[in-house]
A and B are shown apart, each in its own frame.
Chain A
Amino acid sequence: MGSFNDIFKACSWEETSNSIYAKTSADVERALAWGTAKRTLEDFKALLSPAAAPYLEQMAEISRQLTLKRFGRVLQMYVPLYLSNECNNICTYCGFSYDNKVRRKTLSPIEIMQEVAAIKEMGFDHVLLVTGEASQSVHTAYFKQVLELIRPHFAQISMEVQPLDLADYEELRPYGLNTVLVYQETYHQEDYKKHHPRGKKSNFLYRLETPDRLGQAGIHKIGLGVLIGLEDWRTDSFFTALHLDYLEKTYWQSKYSISFPRLRPFSGGLEPKVAMSDRELVQLICAYRLFNEEVELSISTRESQVFRDNIIKLGITAMSAGSKTNPGGYVVEPASLEQFEISDERSAKEIAAMLAQQGYEAVWKDWDNSLV
């Protein structure tokens, strides 16, 4: 069976980048004034190119209309639960990096349940489990144990951990694993190596083919994205869209989501190589929506209050709130190492109130594990 790599290896980063930056206002206008066919990957290039900047308001209006048509006036709410900050990888941009000399912690079953109680108190029914990559302590058996433990308490369980083998995903799915997020970080193969010099994560191809394994395992929803700031975000985002397009056609029974993590400050941190302004992030979000009317677009608490308040009308369909990015961060050990600093510190209830004020409903439950 083939994989995305068959398509990826036929695309040059440089040629793709040049083609994006060569787009003109005529290309953008053509992409905006679409005909009967679906917008193409070439349209997507035009919409995220510098040439599209003057058309931002038009893009926002179309993005808003398409999102309303497909998703209505609702926002899916989720919250991360950091299980562990142990990690064997060196990543130049991450607080959990192996060479960052801080105390490591993996939550015990009792501690997990303490955190679960706090999360339930906040109103969440959808939790995102997060770990570093430390296969000696956070492995498939551990994940299975965690899923068994928390499944009765959540309608939807997502996971953002190290890439696993197909057999692992197949093993975990019956335990209630609904969604798996796996960000490629960057599709720039050479620079990926520079950012991930040590650990299993340095295997670019294994990570690139993870969504294929998720699709083959029948995972209900697959989350994609790049870490914005590592490399040219326009080129990286094009490769994400190319990946999405392939996956949707191949694993057509799965749903897909895209996230937009911008590199944030953290303990021992790396300055973003490429800055992305708020305006550019709005452009990217709208470009995705115009390209793909069905994909879920998610925004985290990395972004500021003002930005999050305004972006909900422009294409976003899911957001986290009240997040802690450290294991035990809700009640067990609030002072442990954060993966990154959050920006919007409002509580889940405050976010729900903000949404209501804008005429949107916060949706806490949109799945039920008994359906799996």
Chain B
Amino acid sequence: MLKIADKIFSSRLFTGTGKFSSALEMEAALLASGSELVTVALKRVDLNAGDDDILKHLKHAHINLLPNTSGVRNAKEAVFAAQMAREALETNWVKLEIHPDPKYLMPDPIETLKATEELAKLGFIVLPYVHADPVLCKRLEDAGTSAVMPLGSPIGSNKGLKTIDFLEIIIAQSKVPVIVDAGIGAPSDAAKAMEIGADAVLVNTAIAVAGNPGLMAGAFKMAVMAGRMAFEARLGKVSAGMQALGSSPLTSFLD
């Protein structure tokens, strides 16, 4: 079980709603994934229309909405977007995405920190999308974040865990849940992230653009479970720890 703020999740696979060929396909894939936290881009939904095509397919008892601020370029815009989402979607959860760069969608660390500080003070449950930067993640914790979402590789790239060394540091020193976001391209990437101790992963592109999104969502579901089980079972790496002993024992002075 995973706890973020005051919510308990039995699934550690979080999903997104972009890039599907239809809302129906999206709904089928999300149900197959077992995901209980689904991020939805504010810029894509019509907050005023009660029958928004994306939102109406997400109306399932077990699905919690996580509005994201994708599209905003600074802290001020992010705070405004979060307040808008709180009012329209009746949730104080927000996935903070601030990327002034429209090409690679790299998260802006300075504006993200500023926005996190402000949103936390306003009572939001903030889940910021960030580069795999261990110091930034600690600064975000101090600012009151409820989780951190470091990227595995560039968003939408399906390149996997290119930042694994930094993810390991973030996981080792974090006091809040670590959700690996962006870049996860295959179930094996998700399993690997879980094996190194990530609390959850967020997957969108790899499911949405698969030949069969529903089947792929199921594959991710199982991969995340397997990765978590492997983490809990403690992976062994015998060669690293049980190396041969030197011919001059270090502890012979004790004899």
Contact = CB atoms under 8 A, between A and B. Distances in A.
Is B a genuine binding partner of A? yes
B241 A57 contact: no
A279 B255 CA distance: 9
Nearest to A65: B243
B160 to A, nearest CB: 15
A88 B23 CA distance: 75
**Which of B235, B237, B249, B251 has the largest number of chain A CB atoms within 10 A?**
B251
Interface string B30-65: 000000000000000000000000000000000000
Nearest to B168: A36
Contacts of A57: 245, 249-251
29 contacts: A29-B242, A32-B242, A33-B237, A33-B241, A33-B242, A34-B237, A34-B241, A35-B234, A35-B237, A36-B235, A37-B168, A37-B171, A37-B196, A38-B172, A57-B245, A57-B250, A58-B242, A58-B243, A60-B251, A61-B243, A61-B245, A61-B246, A61-B250, A64-B250, A250-B175, A252-B173, A282-B251, A282-B254, A310-B250
Given A36-B237, A58-B242, A61-B250, 17 more contacts: A29-B242, A32-B242, A33-B238, A33-B241, A37-B168, A37-B197, A57-B245, A57-B249, A60-B249, A60-B250, A60-B251, A62-B243, A248-B173, A278-B254, A279-B254, A313-B250, A314-B251
Given A36-B195, A37-B196, A310-B253, A249 B242 contact: no
Nearest to A279: B254
Bin the interface of chain A by size.
20 to 34
**Binding site of B, secondary structure by majority: helix, strand, loop or mixed?**
loop
A248 B246 CA distance: 33
Nearest to A253: B138
A250 B250 CA distance: 35
Interface string A296-320: 0000000000110110011000000
Interface string B207-250: 00000000000000000000000010011111011110110011
Interface of A: 29-30, 32-38, 56-58, 60-62, 64, 248-250, 252, 278-279, 282, 306-307, 309-310, 313-314
Given A36-B196, A282-B251, A58 B245 contact: yes
A306 B251 CA distance: 12
A62 B235 CA distance: 18
Nearest to B169: A38
A250 B237 CA distance: 30
Given A35-B234, A36-B195, A306-B253, A252 B241 contact: no
A30 B251 contact: no
Nearest to A246: B175
Nearest to A311: B253
B173 A56 contact: no
A249 B254 contact: no
Nearest to A38: B172
A313 B246 CA distance: 13
B174 interface: yes
Contacts of B195: 35-36
Nearest to B142: A252
